[in-house]
Structure formats: C-alpha cells, structure tokens
Amino acid sequence: MAGTKTGTEVFNASMALADSLDDTTDYTERVLSLINMLGQELYQYSDTKDVTSGERPLFTPIAELTDELDLDDGLAIGVLPYGLAALLLVGEDDIKADFFQQLYEEKKREARNVPQEFEPIEDVYGVI
C-alpha cells in the first residue's frame, strides 16, 4: 500500500503532540530535512519498501512539505510524528523531547515486530 500522507500532515501531527499549534514558524526551516532523515530510518519497516532490484532500498526524500511520503500511512502518522516532535523540541523543552523520543523508539520497535517479508521454508531433509 502506497503512502498518502504528506509532510504537512506529519508536521501538523507533531505540532499537535507538542501542543504548539499556534506558532510553528520556528520549526518550519528544519522540518523538511528532519522528516527526510526520519523517513530513511523508518523506511526499512514500511510496506512501500521495494526490494525487487536486489539493492538496498532507499527512502525517496520529499522536496516540499506538500509531497507524499514514501512510507505507509501507519508509519507516517503512527510513528514519524513522535520522532519529529522529539527532534524539534530538543533544546526548547527537553522533558517533552525525551518523552516523545521514548514514544518514538517504542513505536519503532512495534513496527519492527510486524512481519516484513516471507520466504517459503525449503524441506532439505524430506521430512516436512
């Protein structure tokens, strides 16, 4: 399933978590590069990941916040906003930043536990 969430939606979700919906101008300069950095980190868990080429799958960075993310919607809205909120709040509100970083790591761990690819089991002993 291809992702349909944009950088703007992720940013807005992060600001809602951080309770900073009123004034986001301090964050807008950094948000695009942070989303791309976190997107690459999360891409390995995404169902949009393409491994058919035999090469390391890479996240496609977004150029504008209005671009759709190359992540499935579960990661884009369920995990990424927590990491983004943590990075945006570092140095401004370290208690909130630590809290969101912990939630991000927990949600990333949960995403890692979802089966990604299946391979048939080969019966090498003729028993199965």
Q: How many domains are contained in the chain?
A: 1
Residue 50 lies in a domain: yes
21-65 confidence digits (pLDDT tens): 667 777 888 999 999 999 999 998 888 887 777 778 789 999 999
**Model pLDDT, residue 95:** 95
Give the global pTM: 0.81
Residue 107 lies in a domain: yes
128 pLDDT above the threshold of 70 = no
Residue 118 lies in a domain: no
Residue 23 lies in a domain: yes
Residue 79 lies in a domain: yes
Domain assignment of residue 23, given as a range: 7-112
Residue 126 lies in a domain: no
Residue 120 lies in a domain: no
33-49: buried (b, 16+ CB within 10 Å) or exposed (e) per residue?
ebbbebbeebbebbebb
Contact 87, 105 (CB under 8 A): no
Q: Which amino acid is at 117?
A: E
Banded pLDDT at 121 (limits 50, 70, 90)? confident
Instruction: Look up residue 24 and give its two tokens.
Output: 């986001």
115 pLDDT above the threshold of 70 = no
Residue 127 lies in a domain: no
